[in-house]
Amino acid sequence: MEETKLMHGVYETFLRDHLAIPAVPGEKSEAERFPGALNTFTVEAMVQDRKAIQAGTSHFLGQNFSKAAGIEFEGREGKREHAWTTSWGVSTRLIGTLIMAHGDDDGIMVPPRIAPSQVVILPVTPKEDTRDAVLEACQNLAKALRAQSFHGDPIRVEIDDRDLGGGVKNWEWIKKGVPVRIEIGPRDLEKGSVALARRDRAPKDKAFIPADDVAGSITETLQSIQDGLLDRARKFRKDHTVEIDSMDALKAFFADDKTGGGFALAHWAGSAEDEDALAKELKITVRCLPNDPNLRGGPGTCIGTGKPAEGRVVFAKAY
């Protein structure tokens, strides 16, 4: 159980600190538990259509699977015992979660901590006689940026010196979600400045800053983007999470796909059969019994059965 909960915490931390996704950690209900497991722990993420994605799970299997598979060991007292086992993992669905949590109409938006290229430098070379000077300035800036670090690693920088129009290259990197784009052209060389654009802002929102100041401020800029994505995702989840105290209110909350839905916190003590009936009627499931006491709340009355419930659960439509 200690290992099961350890990995559960690893997934929550990774989603928050690296993917900038504020997952809700908790335990699955009996109906949603992994078949054969004694306990299933999950991290549930909300994406921009307000649906939930089970972003990672960690299962405590007890001895069920070891008995079925004949996995035994010799214990301290010299007796043969069936092993106690766990199963935990995340999958490529995390990539989909990332895209659906942060992407926009212009493409994906990759948090700096996991971005393959954190900064792309785009040389603007309209004339051949200034091309070499522009490319040299780009190389010098790239060298200065790589000398800086972000969370212990050198800044990952790419220079896109392909012979393409500036607008074409710019939009390509916007779609790829690179956190920072820097343009350098002949006019920038004359002024000693660069044009810096952040992926978390409008494409035309560029800041013209002194070239000598870029390297010294890049770590702060990347952290600002990382923090901003997390804050925005937290606000979105908060804005679409409500406490529900009746079955009628629960049905109304999920009735309209376009204007309703999200995470509904409601007291629940229903059976697996009760959950199945709700799933068929409203296309919702109990995503988890949240660990967070602010979400779980205190004891109450089940909105479905009228029985005492220890706390609130998270209802949502999900992928």
281 domain-assigned: yes
Task: Determine which of 145-154, 165-174, 224-233 has the lowest per-residue pLDDT on average.
Answer: 165-174
Q: Per the confidence metrics, is the pTM higher than 0.85?
A: yes
163 or 217: which carries more pLDDT confidence? 217
Q: How far apart are the C-alpha atoms of 317 and 315, rounded to whole Å?
A: 7
Task: Quote the pLDDT of residue 259.
Answer: 64
Task: Quote the pLDDT of residue 166.
Answer: 65
Q: Which residue, of 184, 206, 233, is where some domain finishes?
A: 233
108 domain-assigned: no
109 domain-assigned: no
Task: Quote the pLDDT of residue 167.
Answer: 86
- Judged against a pLDDT cut of 80, whether residue 76 lies above it is answered with yes
Q: Which residue, of 190, 215, 233, is where some domain finishes?
A: 233
Q: What is the mean pLDDT of residues 298-303?
A: 97
| CATH number of domain containing 245 | 3.30.110.30
- Judged against a pLDDT cut of 80, whether residue 65 lies above it is answered with yes
All residues at 6 or more sequence positions from 296 whose CB lies less than 8 Å from its CB, including other chains: 289, 290, 311, 312
Q: How far apart are the C-alpha atoms of 60 and 229, rounded to whole Å?
A: 33
- Judged against a pLDDT cut of 90, whether residue 200 lies above it is answered with yes
Task: Quote the pLDDT of residue 6.
Answer: 98
Q: How far apart are the C-alpha atoms of 188 and 211, rounded to whole Å?
A: 9
Q: What is the mean pLDDT of residues 93-107?
A: 96
- Judged against a pLDDT cut of 70, whether residue 316 lies above it is answered with yes
User: Where on the phi/psi map is residue 30: left (φ > 0), alpha (ψ -120 to 50), or beta?
Assistant: alpha
| CATH number of domain containing 136 | 3.40.50.800
8 Å CB contact between 121 and 182: yes
Q: Which residue, of 215, 233, 251, is where some domain finishes?
A: 233
Are 161 and 127 contained in the same domain? yes
110 domain-assigned: no
Are 96 and 244 contained in the same domain? yes
- Judged against a pLDDT cut of 90, whether residue 27 lies above it is answered with yes
The DSSP annotation for 41-90 comes to EEEEEE-TTS-EEEEEEEEEEETHHHHHHT-EEE-TTS-EEEPPEEEEE-
Domain that residue 219 falls in: 119-233
27 domain-assigned: yes
Are 154 and 215 contained in the same domain? yes
Q: What is the separation of C-alpha 293 from the centre of its chain, rounded to a whole number of angstroms?
A: 22
Strand order through the sheet with 263-267: 85-89, 52-62, 39-46, 24-27, 285-290, 312-316, 263-267, 241-244
Please write the tens of the pLDDT for every residue from 139-167: 999 999 999 999 999 999 999 999 887 68
76 domain-assigned: yes
8 Å CB contact between 260 and 244: no
- Judged against a pLDDT cut of 90, whether residue 69 lies above it is answered with yes
All residues at 6 or more sequence positions from 68 whose CB lies less than 8 Å from its CB, including other chains: 36
Alpha-carbon torsion 295, 298, 303, 305, what sign? positive
Task: Quote the pLDDT of residue 163.
Answer: 86
Q: What is the mean pLDDT of residues 226-247?
A: 97
